[in-house]
Structure 1
Amino acid sequence: MTPALRLSDLSKTFPLGRTLFGPERPGVRAVHPITLAVPQGETLGIVGESGCGKSTLARMLVGLLEPTTGTIEIEGTALDNADPAIFGKRIQYVFQDPISSLNPRKTIRQIIEAPLKLLHGMDKAARTARIAEIFATVSLREDFLDRYPHEFSGGQAQRIGIARALAAEARILILDEPVSALDVSVQAQVLNLLADLKGRLGLTYLFISHDLAVVEAVSDRVAVLYFGSLVELGRAEDVFRAPRHPYTKLLADSAPVVGRVLSAPEGHETELPDPLNPPKGCAFRARCPFASNICATEVPELTDRDGKHPVACHHPTD
């Protein structure tokens, strides 16, 4: 079966421009080349520290950023950044802050109508019928349509954001911290809604989050990013039960757990890599308890050396 999404050597470098009299400065590589296939109907969790490249990757996937290198294919068709409508019909973004992602000057009806007009050219009668169908799907009342975003709670606004994504009839949704701004009880409602929509509509999700418990609960596979690189990829239960990369273990140990005393897994003197002066070899070696000489000279590749899930590490754990 053709994957829902395929990335081939996808990367992003932000140029820094020139100094006043000197040569052009090297850019900041936010995402190193990533090759990845996401099967249809899968939920791929994407985790990593702030600044690891998660949001940059997501913005490239929906056409908000142009990749520096590589290609994006959806269901076997390569996407062209020159035609934003192609992205809109195939892949949509659900934002972290639901209220700020909605235009405060437009009613909910106008917001939901936009993709129906611009992407599908529907007339008024067809739009009215389609909006009623979408609102029923996300369990919202139709009398909400003539209100403005500020009149809704966070959970209601996130349902509206999901409805807007569904209006485009895209098959892939990028969920960027979709429940982190919500109360815990509302988080459960939105997650249940997303699971129901996935089953009913055959959607594929890329779920970006800092909350490892949520990622483990909703994901089929998990991709771990560090300093712009994909360092571990595997089934959610395998990655969280037996992480193979020291960085993945660090993330798991840093997550708060009920009944466990909070303690920092690293010392206060720990330094993150400088994106303007990236280290040679493995970017994680300064924080890694297993680093050796090879880690300082060779960048580890994402490989499956011993029949377990792939990891980019010279000294993977069992």
Structure 2
Amino acid sequence: MSLALETRDLTKTFDVGKRLMRPPKAQVHAVHPTSLNVENGETLGIVGESGCGKSTLARMLVGLLPPTSGTIEIEGLSGGSSPADFGRVIQYVFQDPVSSLNPRKTIRQILEAPLIHLHGMGRTERSARIDEIFDSVSLRPEFLDRYPHEFSGGQAQRIGIARALAANARILVLDEPVSALDVSVQAQVLNLLADLKDELGLTYLFISHDLAVVEAVSDRVAVLYFGAVVEEGRAENIFASPRHPYTRLLAESAPVVGRPIGGQAQGELPDPMNPPPGCAFASRCPRATDICRTDRPELRPIEGDQRAACHHPLDP
């Protein structure tokens, strides 16, 4: 199967306290060197707690943030390609569906923008395409002449998905697409995404902190901690037999009806302006030894296609 997206040693740092003629006072290391492969038609789940770099990584993939270093290649397009070329291939679905839509424009105007600027469609062609897209996300045609504030969260998220489809993109980056929705609406949106993926042959990068959702929708999972991938593999293997202590912590911390919440770990995320020299999880890990505090572990094969960045991986 061919690759839809590939990153190599992708990093992002933000300057803190910029000064006119001198270097910044400090830098925040948001994403450490990250390499990912996503195959065509695959759903890659990206999980991690708040502040681990999920959204920063996603915004680099779609061109909303320039990477500090590293490369991104999307269906043969590299960093030198135009934003319009990227827009025809990859699109972003935002976490907050209502605020991601322009409140001054009707839904029809919002959906027309990519059809005009990316595909140069005329009025008649645009109208037919918009009707087709709206039908695919199960929304009524009369909604097209309303404004974003007139819709519920679930309806607004369907409109956000429709906007991404209007660009005719083959890769969607879904940044917490159901976290702001009620549970019953979450199920409806997830079923819609599954149907669209099958019908249109889409590729998804599904970003979430909800492990149950990620397990349900993903083919493979990448676990992020402190801006770096610490474990990667098939979804069923990651959740059934985590090999990195942080992955187990996430799994045990997820609320389950009838089970006490576990996975308590001491400490917090390290200081992003002063990253530790060794494993970023060492201060919270019960298995940490001296080597964990001095040498950063590399992401390496553990079993099958499962990989973990850990000096002392867990037993299966």
CA RMSD of aligned residues (A): 1.6
Contact 1:134 1:163 in 2 (8 A): yes
Matched, 1:8 2:5: no
Cα distance in 2 for partners of 1:306, 1:157 equals: 42
Matched, 1:278 2:255: no
Cα distance in 1 for partners of 2:274, 2:73 equals: 32
Per-residue Cα deviation, 1:161-195 (whole angstroms, up to 9, x for no partner)? 00000000000000001111111111111000000
Cα distance in 2 for partners of 1:136, 1:184 equals: 23
1:25 positional shift? 3.3
1:265 positional shift? 1.3
When residues 22 and 78 of structure 1 are mapped into structure 2, their CA distance, relative to the original with a 3 A threshold, is closer
What corresponds to 1:311 in structure 2? 308
1:305 positional shift? 4.2
Per-residue Cα deviation, 1:140-167 (whole angstroms, up to 9, x for no partner)? 1111000001111111111110000000
Per-residue Cα deviation, 1:180-216 (whole angstroms, up to 9, x for no partner)? 1111111111000000000000000000011100000
1:20 positional shift? 9.1
What corresponds to 1:160 in structure 2? 159
Cα distance in 2 for partners of 1:213, 1:151 equals: 31
Identity of aligned residues (%): 72
- Equivalences, count: 315
What corresponds to 1:180 in structure 2? 179
1:9 positional shift? 1.2
When residues 210 and 124 of structure 1 are mapped into structure 2, their CA distance, relative to the original with a 3 A threshold, is same
When residues 3 and 21 of structure 1 are mapped into structure 2, their CA distance, relative to the original with a 3 A threshold, is closer
Cα distance in 2 for partners of 1:169, 1:158 equals: 17
Matched, 1:288 2:291: no
Q: Which amino acid letter does the alignment assign opposite residue 51 of structure 2?
A: G
Cα distance in 2 for partners of 1:154, 1:20 equals: 43
1:76 positional shift? 2.4
What corresponds to 1:108 in structure 2? 107
Higher strand share: 2
Contact 1:285 1:295 in 2 (8 A): yes
Cα distance in 2 for partners of 1:158, 1:21 equals: 45
1:272 positional shift? 2.2
Matched residue of 1:9: which SS? strand
Compute the TM-score of the two structures, normalised by the length of structure 1: 0.95
- Gapped regions of structure 1 (runs ≥ 5): none
Cα distance in 1 for partners of 2:49, 2:208 equals: 10
1:98 positional shift? 0.6
Compute the TM-score of the two structures, normalised by the length of structure 2: 0.96
Matched, 1:130 2:129: yes
What corresponds to 1:27 in structure 2? 27
